[in-house]
């Protein structure tokens, strides 16, 4: 496992992103919607840095059904608060092809929000397949499969306080 972002680098990057978000919303009420489960650690850190009138909700999206390749996307809105007339900031762990955030953004737009923006911890370089660009990005990373700070491989490694790239042998070992 190769550490790409240390705990202190992540802390600084999340603080920078929180400052950008606060500057953008200028004290206006905001609903943060976190895409579970990968953004759970980012959510906890980010909301404590935002001095805004804030509501917090979650929805669930899963696409990595088997390992490291993208499967069919399923979205569960059961736990989501009402977003009509609210400014919504959709928060996710990583923007890879962008299909997940694009699909959720499109569905949210049909629920009558005041506006929808997106914030991610990581964006993988050279991978986007959609027109949507995230509005707030803490870190750009190379095209490697990463875990930690909420990101998993087969539900392992989410609790690591750093972000690390998994090698082929890490993947083979974790798959057992």
Closest CA to 4 of 150, 141, 174, 171: 141
Do 24 and 118 touch, CB atoms closer than 8 A?
A: no
Residue from 21, 31, 33, 38 binding Mg ion (CB under 5 A): 38
Closest CA to 11 of 48, 65, 37, 55: 48
3-state secondary structure of 69: strand
From residue 150 to residue 169, the character string flagging contacts with ligand 5GP as x (rule: CB under 6 A) and all else as - is: -xxx----------------
Residue from 11, 15, 24, 99 binding ligand 5GP (CB under 6 A): 99
Do 94 and 124 touch, CB atoms closer than 8 A?
A: yes
Q: Which of 87, 92, 93, 96 is catalytic?
A: 96
Residue 5, H or E segment:
strand 2-5
Closer residue to Mg ion in complex, CB, 38/134: 38
Residue 95 binds to ligand 5GP (criterion: CB under 6 A): yes
Q: Is 96 a catalytic site residue?
A: yes
Nearest distance in Å: CB 165, ligand 5GP: 8
What count of residues does the chain have?
176
Closer residue to ligand 5GP in complex, CB, 88/120: 120
Residue 60 binds to ligand 5GP (criterion: CB under 6 A): no
Contacts to Mg ion by CB under 5 A: 38
Which residues belong to the active site?
96
């Amino acid at each position: 496992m190769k550490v790409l972002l240390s705990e202190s680098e992540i802390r600084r990057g999340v603080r920078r992103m929180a400052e950008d978000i606060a500057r953008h919303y200028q004290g206006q009420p905001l609903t943060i919607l976190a895409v579970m489960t990968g953004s759970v650690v980012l959510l906890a850190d980010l909301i404590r840095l935002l001095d805004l009138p804030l509501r917090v909700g979650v929805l669930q999206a899963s696409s990595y059904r088997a390992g490291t390749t993208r499967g069919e996307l399923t979205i569960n809105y059961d736990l989501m608060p009402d977003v009509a007339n609210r400014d919504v900031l959709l928060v996710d762990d990583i923007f890879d092809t962008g299909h997940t955030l694009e699909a959720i953004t499109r569905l949210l737009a049909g629920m009558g929000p005041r506006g929808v923006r997106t914030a991610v911890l990581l964006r993988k370089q050279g991978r986007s397949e959609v027109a949507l660009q995230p509005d707030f990005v803490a870190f750009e990373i190379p095209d490697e499969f990463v875990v930690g700070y909420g990101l998993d491989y087969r539900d392992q490694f989410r609790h690591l306080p750093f972000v690390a790239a998994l090698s082929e042998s890490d993947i083979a070992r974790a798959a057992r």
